Structure 1
Amino acid sequence: MTPRIISRVLLVGLCAVSCGLILWYALCPKPELRSFTTYSTALFDKRGELLRITLAEDDRYRVYEPIDNISEAFVAATIMYEDQSYYDHAGVDIVAIFRAFWVTYILGERRMGASTIVMQVARLRWGIASSSLAGKIQQIFRALQLTRHFSKQEILELYFNLAPYGGNIEGIGAASLIYFDKPASALSFPEALTLAVIPQNPNKRNPAIKRGYAALKVARNNLYRRWVEENPQAVSKQKHMAMPLQVRALSALPFRAPHFSNYMLASQSRWAHGKLTTTLDGRIQKTFEKVTHAYLASKSALGMHNASALLLNYQTMEVEAMVGSADFFNNDIQGQVNGTLAKRSPGSTLKPFVYGLAIDEGIIHPMSLLKDSPKKFGGFTPENYDKQFRGPIVAKDALIESRNVPAVWLQAQLSHQSFYDFLLSAGVRGLADESFYGLALALGGGELTMMELASLYASLANLGVVKPIVSVKRTQSDVSAKGKRILSPEASFLVLDMLKGNASPHDLRSGLSLLEADDIPWKTGTSWAFRDAWAVGVSGPYVLVVWVGNFDGRGNPAFVGRSAAGPLLFSLFDVIDKADTWKVESLLSERNLNLKKVAVCRNTGDLLEKRCPSSVESWFIPGVSPIKSSNVYRSVILDKVTGLRTCGPTTQQTVERIFEFWPSDFLRIFSQAGISLKTPPSYVPGCSLEQKSTSGQKPTITSPQQRVDYVIQSDSAGEEMIPFTATVDSDVESLFWFVNGKYVGQAKSSEAFYWQATNGDFVVNAVDDAGRSATKNVRVLQF
């Protein structure tokens, strides 16, 4: 082959290669620069303090940082140290490559590098082994591919997020956080130069190792001299460069608020990463952990070893503290379980919401008189914690003292919305079918998480509106997100106003001057078999929930809400800094509520009238609350000689006296409670039924019940009995019973009359011995 042919072949080949290269350059695909790998998540508290930084899926610390958030001094120092002509070449420095090739492979001298920042990005992006000739060629082509599709600024940003900074730390975002506990934008001049020289030899210049820091300091000082040569004014920074740097080692990374951090990480998707500023207040969190630990240490002799606490700002709905357990690392108490997320029986902590619903339905107001006495609700017979009954008790005291029978009775009276449906509408999840709980739901028959309980109590402070809890810091515009109304503003206020009368635990009465000034509406709860002790309170902008117990469900007689969880609740409230004194009535200024105060009879809860011996003011909702005049205290005209009641007008032989006319059911309760009442005397002989019936209260039939169908079996027809009972005025001794107008029998007013049931619809009449009557319909079905 002649030289002319050879030269033509070479020319054609060169043209073909050139065309191929041009075609490749034009058609090479655009690579993905960010999602090709995984990144760490760095969690911060609301003040920007690092809580935890996680490893990426390849066990590297790598936090993506946009170049606009990186210190300008660091960017400039890196370019000066790694690739001074970065903005002048097309990704590959041909002159430097030929020089490195000549020195390394032709002259055989020490190895000389020629990689530009773009080539380093190519190596890091595709994991290229660039020490070989084939690897170096691949690296060059990948570098050209990068410059084909991305700007120098975009490539530089990727470099700063992939470059090695010692150990398993990659990227300036992770390096600045780990070594200097600050974002890359806040690096000082010495810190910027320190980090800039690490990627060239990350193993030898690891700043967290004593030997590595010494080598790093030499390289950094050399860079500083070059910097001063180009920027003479930087000589003024000499004194800063001479100061030792405080470098944090990987082993000293924070692991703060572990339960909250795990909760946050679990709520993020697999692909979510980067910096996440949470709502947690790191200072309160740390204090809560110390107080909880100290409290349990003081109670360890009682078998109290574990507790959880949750602090929620109800104004922003932000979680500011979360103590999931007493000790995250204690396996004896299953410390890694997050008690704030666990479903537990809430005990009596749900009772305030039963009262709120009853207030909204006009069943009670705060001073309504309720009955705390033995009562069966179908097959359910609730008892109180102390196995005692208080008798007549006003609603406010029944709630504060957590009496069970009044709460169950109120739940049974709800007709607009069942308590079960209320909980569902409030966002409680995981409940079984409503029939599973029955009327035990108000007593803790269901299970809620601490988060759900905090949300419910926050709705009271937000005047009846339930809002979602947030744990990621939001912008101001997001904070005012609307919620869902579950109670009226008036009922919500009244419940808190009732609960503020709940006295603090006895052992915390002294030394809490701030708490003595603040209102703290709070409620306790104790679950069945003493498995859970709860305390929930509202004060200032906060809802605080406390739980004491065992995660494995073991009971302990010491796990009583008031004595076990209550003191911890108040201890935690005491360490929260509050600028102003807070009162429940401050909520009234937020809205123009339909509330008024009225004087009521202290003993009956009815409107005050002149015969009532003492009065008290009570809130009520005009048009809703069941306010009526009291008929308990009545004026009776007595014969001076016999002391019996007369039927005629007042004369010189008569005298007027005031007696208490309590209904018969209350009289029984007073008797059971050992309270003796002065009952009115009988009428003088000769008084007619017509004269007696003009005064007093007519009977109220309590059985048969309204809206209940009674069922009897066909094979037992004529044998099954339905009890007839009624409450009557205190002067009634006997009741006469009629069915469909036919007299069927009589019984003492304190006893039940049993009627032999038959199939059909019936009208039942009760007539007392003063001629006053009441009527109720009943249906009996036969199967």
Structure 2
Amino acid sequence: MWSYIRNKKKWFVVLVSLMVMLGYYLMLPEKLFDAPYSTTLESRDGQLLGAAIASDGQWRFAEVDSVPVKFEEALIHFEDEDFYYHPGFNPFSLLRATWQNLRSGKVVSGGSTITMQLVRLSRRDKPRTLWQKLIEIVLATRIEFTYSKEEILNMYASHAPFGGNVVGLNTATWRYFNRGAEDISWGEAALLAVLPNSPALIHPGRNRDDLRAKRDRLLDKLLSEGVIDSLTNQLAKSESIPDKPLPLPLLAPHLLTRAIKDGHEQRNITSTIDLSLQRRVSRIVDNHHSTLRGNEVHNAAAIVANVRSGEVLAYVGNVRQAGREHNNYVDVITAPRSTGSILKPFLYAAMLDEGQILPSSLIPDVPVFISGFAPKNFSRTYDGAVPADRALSRSLNVPAVQMLRQYRYEKFHSLLKELGMTTLVQSPDHYGLSLILGGAEGTLWDISGMYAGLANTLNHYNSHSDRYRYSESSYKPLHYTVQVSGSQEERSDTGILSAAAIYHTMEALLEVYRPTEESSWEMFDSSQKIAWKTGTSFGYRDAWAVGVTSEYVVGIWVGNADGEGRPGLTGLQAAAPLMFDVFDILPKSSWFDQPLSEMLSMNICRESGFRATEFCTQIDTMQIIKSGDRVRGCPYHKPVHLDVNGYRVHADCEPVSNMEHTSWFVLPPVQEYYYRSKNPAYRKLPPYRKDCLSDQVSIAAMEVIYPKKNSIIYIPKELDGSLGSAVFEVAHRRPETTIYWHLNNQFVGATTRIHQLSVSPPAGNYELTLVDDKGKYIAQKFKIISESGK
């Protein structure tokens, strides 16, 4: 029986022991601290750019993964000299503290180790009773079993209080000394070591003499222990005590806000930002704002990125000094804004890539009316026909619409999304042809990344082996956080647009010619080649400028965040100067290699820019993208037969043997009408000899400028209630001829030289018939609606 009792007691002891061991194991929470942290943003070299306060109102930076040697030495010599040797508590320190407290009749020493203090911090400072002290001892031993000494020190340094709402070593060094913990001096390390242990001195601005004395006693101890020498001791003692917490840096506030929205809250974010460049770009933006606000323009944004890596080097989301009344808190870099003309280079490159145009192919530049859409050039003038590259460099709207009409807006919509434009949330039909003129919204972030992708495609082209290097994607989103190589999202493993098409586009964007009303382009002189494009949205609400080299992309937006337009707010006048000032502070870049393996030598008609035909009289041999061999031959040079007096003739009125056969550059009548005014060397087509006039004349003599075929015209009423008028216009190859105008077979007038006629017909369907004095005629149908829409 006694044996049974002994066995039962034995099993009871074992069970109790197991329960105690299990309780000991489970008593430590999985995570010691559940307090919220501040979100901090650092530059690429670890300098603080900004921070957001934790949700509990404390400045508490994320836990550190190491403690500076100076602070470690100071803390251990002040708090716990046997830290690296005890199991979490020090019995000798506890006995000594008990004896000191008994002698003093009050608590003058706690005898706590750093590990025990860590327990107290994690338990939110429970009452300092004997029972709580025993709990701290047990938990301290449990912590020592779980964490290394380095980890314990890191957790203590991260959660120790340093005065007011300043928690943690990194927070304290920035709030009191305006630098990171790794850069503190011995005097600063000693000061921070004594702060958490001194409730009465918890704010450095108070009890300064007592705080200084306590710091100096620790410095003397470090000297006596041989940790520092006498000179270091003296220098450390001479350091002043901080008066009050300093404001934290605010060098990239919009990027910090964005990082929080992107899911990086309560983390220490190491960004790709170059601190020196960030400061300089911010200063440039502020300087330009001081001029812009004279025109009531209050907001601007700038982004600089490395085109090879996609790393953002500077991020200025808005003007800091604009004030909240002018929405300076809005991050314009991520705000969708009307794109203006900033997307035109992508259309130009796409059409080159598909062989739809050549760089200098003539594009019509005449008034157009397409399903109610009537685009106008910024200058309100027309060139008749203009080379595609010149249309791009001059940012002409009408040729761009003509090109998009040929390319198809549905395809362009898809291409932009593939290149990285994330704001095209509507269907292609929603935007239509206005997509190329600012009918869609884009962000400075996306668009800068798209230009960077173009440049990086050329960077990947290897001129030595005549092929691409696709070790990484050319088109990758820009990113602002330091990432592991290859971890960033990639959009394509091959070039979306060919290097040759992009090279031609970059060359066109080097030509900074602008029409006369924008002649101030001449002020932009740079010591390096920069491909750049500006954009201005309707109503002068958004001014864009994006420039790119082989190394950098610079994106600028200027305007008002609330959408208010201002006269003169154009990409050229408001955004381009800022962009060039930013480029001036960047290292100079070499230009791109010409991708010769994607090109071929081709004969080009000098006047039309198309592939030369047998009728072209002036021919240039150029290196052109290979797909250019699909472009049709020159459509404007035609064979013309003349008599000895220079009149046009044909076989029915003149023997072939008496004819002079020549080639003539002939544009359609409307194009010729405008082209001739800008190109004095243009030769009008000779008229037919009188006896040769017949139905065989194949080249159109006249063309209606307005109204367009099957168009719908709205004529408003005048202020007095009477019906207003519309001005119809016709182009004729021989302006001196007389044209007779008829509406629905009713004669309404005749014109000579200036073929314009003002008419005021009521609502209805009409046919306009025009007859010249040679009997040639054209007819065009259109519809007029009244104010009621009928």
How high is the TM-score relative to the length of structure 2? 0.77
Identity among equivalent pairs (%): 28
Secondary structure of the structure 1 residue equivalent to 2:196: coil
**Other-structure match for 1:717:** none
Q: Which residue of 2 aligns with 1:718?
A: none
Does residue 216 (structure 1) correspond to residue 220 (structure 2)? The answer is no
SS in 1 for 2:97: helix
* Structure 1 residue identity aligned to 2:173: S
Deviation at 1:261, TM superposition (A): 2.1
- 1:156 is the counterpart of 2:143: no
Return the offset for 1:658: 5.2
Distance 1:153 1:660, change over 3 A: closer
- The 5 A counterparts of 1:301-380 are 301-327=294-320, 330-380=323-373
Question: Which residue is 2:123 aligned to?
Answer: 126
For residues 688-707 of structure 1, the aligned pairs below 5 Å read none
Secondary structure class of the residue paired with 1:104: helix
C-alpha separation between the residues in 2 aligned to 1:636 and 1:41?
77
Structure 1: distance between partners of 2:699 and 2:326: 60
For the pair 1:448 / 2:442, whether they are aligned, the reply is yes
Residue among 400, 403, 408 paired with 2:401: 408
Query: Partners in 1 of 2:588 and 2:675 — Cα distance?
Result: 47
- Secondary structure at the residue paired with 2:105? coil
Residues 154-190 of structure 1 show CA distances to partners (whole Å, capped at 9, x for unaligned) of 3333222222222222222322343344443444434
Equivalent runs, 1:365-514 vs 2, <5 Å: 365-414=358-407, 418-430=411-423, 431-463=425-457, 465-475=474-484, 483=492, 485-503=495-513, 506-507=519-520, 509=522
Paired residue type of 1:678: K
Q: Structure 1 residues 358-367 or 82-91, which shifts more?
A: 82-91
Counterpart Cα distance in 1 of 2:25 and 2:356: 78
Q: Distance in 2 between matches of 1:579 and 1:398?
A: 28
Aligned match of 2:57 in 17, 34, 59? 59
CA contact (8 A) 2:600 2:626 kept: yes
Q: Which residue of 2 aligns with 1:227?
A: 222
| Paired residue type of 2:547 | G
Question: Shift in Å at residue 407 of structure 1?
Answer: 1.4
TM superposition shift of 1:140:
3.1
Does residue 526 of the first structure (1) align with residue 536 of the second (2)? yes
- For 1:751, the aligned partner's letter is I
Aligned counterparts of 1:298 and 1:164: Cα–Cα separation in 2: 46
1:258/1:328 contact within 8 Å kept: no
User: Residue 113 of structure 1 aligns with which residue?
Assistant: 110
Q: Secondary structure at the match of 1:466?
A: coil
Contact 1:366 1:618 in 2 (8 A): no
**In the aligned structure 1, how far is the partner of 2:601 from the partner of 2:367?**
33
Q: How many matched pairs? A: 691
CA–CA separation in structure 2 for the residues paired with 1:397 and 1:411: 16
> Aligned AA for 1:555?
G
Asked whether 1:72 is paired with 2:78, we answer no
| Aligned counterpart in structure 1 of residue 604 of structure 2, from 576, 600, 603 | 600
Tell me whether 1:195 sits opposite 2:192 in the alignment.
yes
Is the partner of 1:548 in helix, strand or coil? strand
Q: Residues of 1 paired with 2:355 and 2:151: CA distance?
A: 67
Query: In the TM superposition, what whole-angstrom CA distance separates every residue of 1:321-378 from its partner, at most 9, and x where no partner exists?
Result: 2222223661231111111111111111111112122112211111101101122323
Paired residue type of 1:682: Y
Distance 1:130 1:83, change over 3 A: farther
SS of the equivalent of 2:332 reads: coil
Shift of 1:549: 1.7
Question: Superposition pairs for residues 637-648 of structure 1, below 5 Å?
Answer: 638-640=642-644, 643-645=647-649, 647=651
Which residue of 1 is the match for residue 760 of structure 2? none
CA distance in 2, matches of 1:327, 1:187: 30
Q: Is the 8 A contact 1:316 1:479 kept in 2?
A: no
Partner Cα distance (1:383, 1:143) in 2: 78
Residue 625 of structure 2 corresponds to residue 621 of structure 1? yes
| SS, match of residue 287 in structure 2 | helix
> Where does structure 2 lack aligned partners over 5 or more consecutive residues?
1-9, 459-473, 705-730, 735-768, 783-790
Of 565, 568, 573, the residue aligned with 2:575 is 565
Distance 2:519 2:278 in 1: 26
Q: CA deviation at 1:288?
A: 2.4
Indicate how the Cα distance of structure 1 residues 728 and 314 shifts in structure 2: closer, same or farther if over 3 A, else same.
farther
Letter in 2 for 1:517: S
Which letter maps to 2:569?
F
**For 2:148 and 2:638, how far apart are their aligned partners in 1?**
94
Distance (Å, rounded) in 2 between the aligned partners of 1:407 and 1:233: 73
Mark the CA change 1:423 to 1:91 in structure 2 (over 3 Å): closer, same or farther.
same
**Gap change, CA 1:150 and 1:565, over 3 Å in 2:** closer
Classify the secondary structure of the residue corresponding to 2:543.
Answer: strand
Whole-angstrom distance in 1 between the partners of 2:443 and 2:178: 35
Question: Is contact 2:46-2:270 (8 Å) kept?
Answer: yes
- For the residues of structure 2 that align with 1:619 and 1:680, how far apart are their CA atoms? 35
Deviation at 1:386, TM superposition (A): 2.5
Please name the residue that 1:273 is paired with.
267
User: Which amino acid is 1:287 matched to?
Assistant: R
Deviations 1:414-460 (A, max 9, x none): 26961111222223234222221111111111111111111221222
Q: CA deviation at 1:471?
A: 0.2
Question: Do the aligned partners of residues 376 and 205 (structure 1) sit closer, same or farther apart at CA in structure 2, a change above 3 Å counting?
Answer: closer
Counterparts of 1:573 and 1:467, CA distance in 2: 22
Q: 2:668 touches 2:700 (CA, 8 Å); kept in 1?
A: no
Q: Distance in 2 between matches of 1:535 and 1:107?
A: 75
Deviation at 1:472, TM superposition (A): 0.8
Q: Which residue in the other structure is 1:764 paired with?
A: none
2:83 is the counterpart of 1:86: yes
Instruction: Specify whether residues 163 and 637 from structure 1 end up closer, same or farther in structure 2 by C-alpha distance, changes over 3 A only.
Output: closer
**Cα–Cα, structure 1 residues 406 and 688, in superposed 2: closer, same or farther, change >3 Å?**
closer
Cα separation, partners in 2 of 1:205 and 1:35, compared to 1, 3 Å: closer
Distance in 1 separating the partners of 2:647 and 2:513:
46
Distance 1:456 1:278 in 2: 21
Q: Where do 5+ consecutive residues of structure 1 fail to align?
A: 1-11, 703-726, 731-744, 756-783
| Correspondence for 2:39 among 38, 41, 45 | 41
Do 1:546 and 1:569's aligned partners in 2 also have CA atoms closer than 8 Å? Answer: yes
Q: Which amino acid aligns with 2:176?
A: Y
Given that 1:601 and 1:607 are in contact with CA atoms closer than 8 Å, whether structure 2 keeps it comes out as yes
Given the alignment, which residue of 129, 132, 142 partners 1:135?
132
Query: Structure 1 residues 300 and 482, CA, compared in 2 at 3 Å: closer, same or farther?
Result: closer
State the secondary structure of the residue aligned to 1:348: coil
Q: Please give the alpha-carbon distance, in whole angstroms, between the structure 2 residues aligned to 1:520 and 1:322.
A: 20
Partner of 1:678: 684
Instruction: Indicate conservation of the 8 Å contact 1:659/1:680, yes or no.
Output: no
When structure 1 is superposed on structure 2, of 333-342 and 605-614 the one drifting more is: 605-614
Amino acid at match of 1:396: D
